[in-house]
Amino acid sequence: MIKKIPDYYKYSSKPVLHLSPSRIKVRNQVLDKIQKEIYKEETSKCLLCDSIRYTTIAEKDMYGLPVKTVVCDECDLLYTNPRLSEESLSTFYNIEYRNLDRLDGASIDDFYVFQKYKGQLIYSFLKDNMILDKIEGKMILEIGCGAGGILEYFKERGYSVMGCDLGAEYLNYGIDKGLNLIQGTIKDIDNYIEGKWQNIGLVIYEQVLEHLSAPKIELNLLSSVLQEGTIVYIGVPGIRKIEDNYEGNFIRFLQIPHLLHFSKVHLDYMMRQALFKPIFINEKIQGVFEKTSRLKKLYQEELKKYYPLNNIDYILHLNKVRQQKWNQNRLRNVYKSISLPVRDFLLKIFKRKK
């Protein structure tokens, strides 16, 4: 049981990364809408085991927005509770999300190049794990494909590809590049391919599952349409890599549209429940699964046994790691915490003195 949330995890509107004035403006707009209840919140049960018993571990996200992250008392899953309602989330994605998420000056072209690079990483990962043979001659489907850069990479390697997403701006960019993309979700794919799921060899969800308010429903739907043996690739941010990838800063890892946070074991468990057998998963997280109707079930009790530290103790441990790393890089961090115009000014004076 947790007695006290560390001060660093308590709510304050201070972002934990540098945000440009234009991103601060978008952040303030979201904050204002939450405070005025234009953006409505709703309580959530555990997205893995449906329990309603939880412990709150953090009260803010990296932008300094009031986001409560809780740990399920039953299965140890980390998730957001309360979270924005379905309707508010959808408005947020349409109006603020891209401008909050996107670095200043980064264009849709840059995003596409970045997506293509991700496509290369996924391709290499599948190749290294000897999955490419299993999908030869089959179609690749990506759910939540954005502009479709990942699919472009596979297309250049001779695969037929198709993707879907909700955001029209990015989709149209990919369609103009000649990609086979449709506006919608997995529910709309069935109509589009006229139920011919046997043609699909690989389904990709890259940084998508953590955004879904009902991931189990999505996976069960996917499982119900896919043929036996179809491969599913899942990429999600992994909580057990926060020490390596986020300098131990748990808050830096949290952002308002992420509704649940996976470790390797939790993803494995969720996928098994929907009849997907793990072929390979790491803590990064990249996972490859195969649709099968014969599967060994995992039990909830096994989840807690997997790690030496449960998620609450692990996140409290991270706070110590963060403080240590901050102390080690003290000068660099002070410099980083100064706003850009002031940094430029200081740099000019420093150069003049030289």
For Zn ion, give the closer residue by CB, 242 or 260.
260
Taking the CA atoms of 173, 176, 177 and 178 in sequence, report the sign of the dihedral they define.
positive
Per-residue binder mask for Zn ion (CB under 5 A), 59-78, x = binder: -------------x-xx-x-
C-alpha dist (Å) from residue 182 to 8, 168, 172, 197, 221 = 43, 9, 9, 16, 18
Q: Is 28 in the site for Zn ion (CB under 5 A)?
A: no
For Zn ion, give the closer residue by CB, 79 or 111.
79
Q: Which residues in 75-114 contact Zn ion (CB under 5 A)? A: 75, 77
Shortest Å distance, C-beta 187 to Zn ion = 26
For Zn ion, give the closer residue by CB, 48 or 135.
48
Q: Which stretch binds Zn ion (CB under 5 A): 43-51, 200-208, 224-232, 291-299?
A: 43-51
Taking each helix axis from N to C end, the angle separating 168-176 and 108-128, rounded to the nearest 10 degrees, works out to 80
Taking each helix axis from N to C end, the angle separating 215-225 and 264-273, rounded to the nearest 10 degrees, works out to 50
For Zn ion, give the closer residue by CB, 70 or 222.
70
For Zn ion, give the closer residue by CB, 75 or 164.
75
Q: Is 165 in the site for Zn ion (CB under 5 A)?
A: no
For Zn ion, give the closer residue by CB, 8 or 306.
306
C-alpha dist (Å) from residue 23 to 14, 15, 34, 141, 236 = 13, 11, 17, 33, 24
For Zn ion, give the closer residue by CB, 78 or 234.
78
Q: Is 151 in the site for Zn ion (CB under 5 A)?
A: no
Q: Is 51 in the site for Zn ion (CB under 5 A)?
A: yes
For Zn ion, give the closer residue by CB, 113 or 214.
214
Shortest Å distance, C-beta 72 to Zn ion = 3
Q: Which stretch binds Zn ion (CB under 5 A): 2-10, 45-53, 177-185, 269-277?
A: 45-53
Q: Tell which one of 16, 19, 26, 46 touches Zn ion (CB under 5 A).
A: 46
Return the closest-CA partner of residue 159 out of 147, 148, 144: 148
Shortest Å distance, C-beta 74 to Zn ion = 5
- Contacts with Zn ion by CB under 5 A: the residue count is 8
Q: Which residues in 282-301 contact Zn ion (CB under 5 A)? A: none
Shortest Å distance, C-beta 263 to Zn ion = 13
Q: Which stretch binds Zn ion (CB under 5 A): 44-52, 63-71, 191-199, 277-285?
A: 44-52
Q: Which stretch binds Zn ion (CB under 5 A): 39-47, 131-139, 264-272, 274-282?
A: 39-47
Paired sense of beta strands 54-58 and 69-72, if any: antiparallel
Taking each helix axis from N to C end, the angle separating 149-156 and 168-176, rounded to the nearest 10 degrees, works out to 20
Q: Is 49 in the site for Zn ion (CB under 5 A)?
A: yes
CB burial class (10 A; 0-12, 13-18, 19+) of residue 107? Answer: exposed
- d(CA 142, CA 128) in angstroms, rounded, equals 20
For Zn ion, give the closer residue by CB, 70 or 162.
70
- d(CA 33, CA 91) in angstroms, rounded, equals 11
| Three-point CA angle 84, 255, 278, nearest 5° | 95
Residues that bind Zn ion (CB under 5 A): 46, 48-49, 51, 72, 74-75, 77
